[in-house]
Amino acid sequence: MNFSLTIAELAALINGEIEGDSKAIINGYAKIEEATEGCLTFLANPKYTHFIYSTKATAVLVRKDFVPEHPININLIRVDDPYETLAKLLNLANSQLPVKQGIENPSFIDETVKQTEGLYVGAFAYIGKNVKLGKNVKVYPQVYVGDNVTLGDDVILYPGVKIYHGCRIGNRCIIQAGAVIGGDGFGFAPKEDGTYEKIAQVGIVILEDDVEIGANTTIDRATMGATIVKRGTKLDNLIQVAHNVEIGENNVMAAQVGIAGSTKIGNHNMVGGQVGFSGHITVGDNNGIGAQSGLPKSIGNGLQIIGSPPVGIREYYKNYLYTQRLSEMAHEIKDLKKAIDNLTKDNQ
């Protein structure tokens, strides 16, 4: 990203308040501990506050109420939310990159497909029969789009994405490299002879608008009906979503989450990495679920939990402290038992 802006010009874009040299030049972005001259960085997490006294950045985005504990010799741009502001700036910079358009060869687009405004199809991509394309769809090399798939406006399919037949992708969805949308759900019926008979998976996957799917994540098609990821939800890399799962609006899930079949998850949940959800359970809204938790049963709304089975965060860490003393406590119990035995002998 090649650009050059004064701090004054940058602050005008984000409605920021300047403390320092408004004429200093910004020509890049970097983390606060790695930034060099010319870089803009940000301070959002208090754990990184000590870096503001040593960073080599030219300017730092900070909260409007930030008060330094020590003297600093750096330009500040005060904003309401530094992290959100940086995200807007990065998105603005990214939007200036050249936009992919046109059809590369070799690639295959079935004759039944109507090519739309702003379409890009990369080399070795395949678009099957009766696929419906919105405007400005970007299909990168080696993508497979099966028959009767619908792709909304401004959808981006990065290299190697596979979308099986019949699935529906909403507007402005982004699917990262290697993700598989609509593979068969894991359905097998046990037979009397100990073998398993495959159950046909005749449903689809629906991604509503503004959903993002991480690299190598898999979302299985429903046995019947649809596996659904609702508006605004963001899934990280290497997540498994099983058949007939429903994920509500504006959830965020970190890598390696696993969701078993027919589980229903509400809205605005934040899920840490490697969390496992049992099948056929219900999760409410506005929950925070810590990394590596396991949910064997349904939960309600507004909980902050961690563990397997999960408990409240304060209880979890209290229990954790106890487990660190188990060996010591075992010795204490052994000594108490020995003392009790000696007292019993003395009183006989």
Mean pLDDT on 72-97: 91
Handedness of CA 331, 332, 337, 343 (dihedral sign): positive
Amino acid at the residue 338: K
Mean pLDDT on 1-12: 87
Nearest CA to 162 among 124, 194, 210? 124
Q: How many helices (H) and strands (E) does the chain have?
A: 4, 39
Known catalytic membership, residue 243: yes
pLDDT digits (tens, 9 = 90+) for 107-127: 999 999 999 999 999 999 999
Neighbours of 127 (CB within 10 A): 26
Indicate which residue of 50, 70, 165, 243 is catalytic. 243
CB contact at 8 A, 283 and 298:
yes
The backbone torsions φ and ψ at residue 201, rounded to the nearest 5 degrees and listed phi first, read -105, 100
Start-to-end CA distance of the chain, whole Å, equals 87
Looking only at the bridges linking them, the beta strands covering 270-271 and 156-157 are: unpaired
Q: What is the pLDDT of residue 92?
A: 85
How many residues make up the chain in this entry?
348
pLDDT digits (tens, 9 = 90+) for 125-137: 999 999 999 999 9
